[in-house]
A = this chain, B = another copy of it.
Amino acid sequence: MAEWQRTHTCEQLREEHVGQTITLNGWVLTVRDNGHQIFIDLRDRYGLTQVVFNKADNAELFTQAKELKSEWVVSVTGLVRKRLEGAARADISTGEIEVEAKTLRVLNQCPPLPFEISEFGSELANEDLRLQYRYLDLRRRSLQKVLILRHRLCKVIRDYMDAHNFLEVETPLLGKSTPEGARDYLVPSRVFNGEFFALPQSPQLYKQLLMISGYDRYFQIARCLRDEDLRADRQPEFTQLDVEMSFVEREDVTGIMERLAVDIFDKCLGVKLSVPFPRLSYAEAMSKYGCDKPDLRFGLEIADITDIAGASEAQFFKDAVAAGGVIRAINAKGAAAAQDAKKAPLFSNTALKPGGELAKVTETYRAKGLAWLKVEGGKFTGSIEKFFSDELKAKLTERLGAVDGDLLLIVAGPESVVCDALGALRLHLAARLKLYRNWWEEKAEHDESEKKKADAAKKKKENYAPVPFQPRAEHFNFAWVLDFPMFGWDDEEKKWAAMHHPFTAPMDEDLPHFWQNESLGKVRAKAYDMVLNGYEVGGGSIRIHRQDVQSRVFEILGMNPEEAKARFGFLLDALQSGAPPHGGIALGLDRWAMIIAGTTNIRDVIAFPKNQRARDLMTGAPAQVDDRQLKELGVKLS
């Protein structure tokens, strides 16, 4: 070991080390110089240790220490000693001791940085600048914690999958382009000019082939790539936990995966989830929550009132019913009476008028209008009140469980429009009525309050160790959504498209519809989504294991047999080579890391992310390349 090398990390020293001569390596976090003593907080991945330079003891060393600046890398050899009475810190694990420096070695200097490395959101530099100097931003303790948690998440997953007999098998990055859905990244080939590999959008076909090969239980934490227009929470490359099992039905897959979720939440967050997760059908999710990934942390369920409102005198309700539409409502419990911080009504009538806060939400989804009723003193008020007879009012009261202070919000129109509009309105209401808390928001408040306590204690020369925040099971509402439609009609392309993917099996009881062209819209698929707090956190299906069924799907999707053979011939052959029943799922690992880390920025959970325009601001990729390289690949720019 070299003289400068550490004997301990910056997190290891305790009272028991007092009197020992040790060496620490790390970064200078802060320097405080009171003229007689210089205190530095030395930081590494593991923690912080205070180092003291005493002018009286060693003037030369003191002068040397005067040079130190933030982010310099140093080696300090010194004596561990107990801090003076009152100087101990309860908020760091090494707070009982400090190191009296005897030797200082500067391992690397650091000129002033392009931005200060701060932990506080409000003080963060512009994100583009931080992405350009990602290696500096990654020094933030909060980002380090996220990446450490992501490592832990993957380790917990692998331990669990291994313990359940799953084999991790690596599948190729260089595959074949099978244009379908999202766009493939293409890779020209030097050996075969004019031909291209494609980077995988998922290992879907490979994992199915592994089942056909008899591997029984497969998983992979797999990198996938899509050359798509980005959204705030997308990256061109992403990671998924990819799983496939043989000789299974739906409940085998969902069961294994929900018990994995229990393990993850327990080991990564200390949260005890209960299983089984609630299951609801796609039809139920759409009618009750207006979407297929319902946020179940709150009620605000949607109720169908087509029969009641359709029987009212309101012409727009009658028209909607006549056009084959539906009328549905949300009872925003207490929203009529709710007040904001200034004691003004939370939702004034203005919010309910066209273009107002609530009406705007439904208008975004092409709903023609937002009707409403308030319940006050046992009576309905509102412009549509007059269209309802007492009998209909009574029915409405019963159907919606309406009581004083409630606000009933009603949308009429085609079912898909009503679902979208009320689904969005439901989320909006829940946020405004504060019906749920994201755990990281609660944590931020908690941490703020603990910091105040610590500050107050400090003023009184007392020592306060902040209590860490502990998320609870109520922060995480998982569910399974089942029985998705198999096909959706693509109005633009005038053809059927697969709702999940073309390898998903139809439900046995819907096979009669499947083999006819007339009722394809009625076919449900053996697909399932894992949903958490309004996000899809996993999606899978039982796959087709019969060649005739797979060929029929390709036919329904508009492929002729030659096309199907050219693109998926190897799969069709494999299905005729002894393919077992099988099914699987994929979980979006980046999303899981975000939830567990408590961040809403996907770039926080990826060490070297692209920005929202899919560019790596640090290396400058993508970039122009040498003509020689292109020539070898047999391509040129167009």
Contacts and interface: CB of A to CB of B under 8 A. Distances in A.
Contacts of A44: 214, 216
B638 A577 contact: no
A46 interface: yes
Contacts of A134: 209, 213
Given A174-B237, A190-B227, A622-B189, A45 B215 contact: yes
Contacts of A206: 607-608
A582 B472 CA distance: 40
Contacts of A624: 194-196
Nearest to A189: B622
A631 B5 CA distance: 56
B223 A73 contact: no
B183 A185 contact: no
Interface in A587-638: 606-608, 610, 613-616, 618-626, 629-638
A72 interface: yes
A135 B578 CA distance: 10
A286 interface: no
A621 B223 contact: no
B621 A580 contact: no
Contact of A155 (B158, B216, B247, B251): B158
A363 interface: no
B170 A607 contact: yes
Given A73-B578, A210-B138, A227-B190, A621 B148 contact: no
Interface stretch (A105-113, A310-318, A382-390, A488-496): A105-113
B158 A107 contact: no
Given A213-B136, A214-B138, A607-B169, A192 B622 contact: yes
B623 A176 contact: yes
A110 B162 contact: no
A123 to B, nearest CB: 19
Interface string A195-217: 11111000000100110111111
Contact of A177 (B1, B195, B623): B623
A173 interface: yes
Contacts of A189: 227, 614, 622
B545 A108 contact: yes
B247 A6 contact: yes
Contacts of A504: none
A237 B1 CA distance: 37
A195 B623 contact: yes
Contacts of A169: 147, 150-151, 607
A525 to B, nearest CB: 17
A579 interface: yes
Given A73-B578, A179-B629, A578-B108, A214 B247 contact: no
Contact count band on A: 35 or more
Given A196-B624, A223-B170, A619-B176, A186 B576 contact: no
A191 interface: yes
Contacts of A19: none
Given A144-B215, A576-B111, A635-B637, A614 B167 contact: no
Contacts of A348: none
A249 interface: yes
Contacts of A581: 107-108
Nearest to A162: B155
A634 B188 CA distance: 13
A331 interface: no
A71 B575 CA distance: 12
A546 interface: yes
A632 B168 CA distance: 35
Contacts of A236: 174
Interface string A115-151: 0000000000000000001111011000010011011
Nearest to A27: B578
B616 A175 contact: yes
A176 B138 contact: no
A300 B159 CA distance: 46
Contact of A635 (B133, B154, B636): B636
Counting chain B CB atoms within 10 Å of each CB, the highest count among A158, A170, A175, A192 belongs to A170
A635 B53 CA distance: 62
Interface string A548-581: 0000000000000000000000100111111111
Contacts of A622: 174, 176, 187, 189, 192, 195-197
Contacts of A113: 577
B629 A184 contact: yes
A25 B247 contact: yes
Given A151-B169, A173-B237, A215 B179 contact: no
Given A213-B135, A213-B139, A249 B2 contact: yes
B148 A167 contact: yes
Contacts of A610: 172, 174
A77 interface: no
14 contacts: A72-B578, A110-B578, A133-B577, A136-B577, A138-B215, A139-B213, A151-B162, A172-B610, A173-B173, A184-B629, A188-B635, A194-B624, A195-B622, A636-B637
Given A174-B225, A179-B625, 9 more contacts: A25-B246, A27-B580, A45-B214, A108-B579, A172-B610, A173-B223, A175-B616, A176-B623, A636-B637
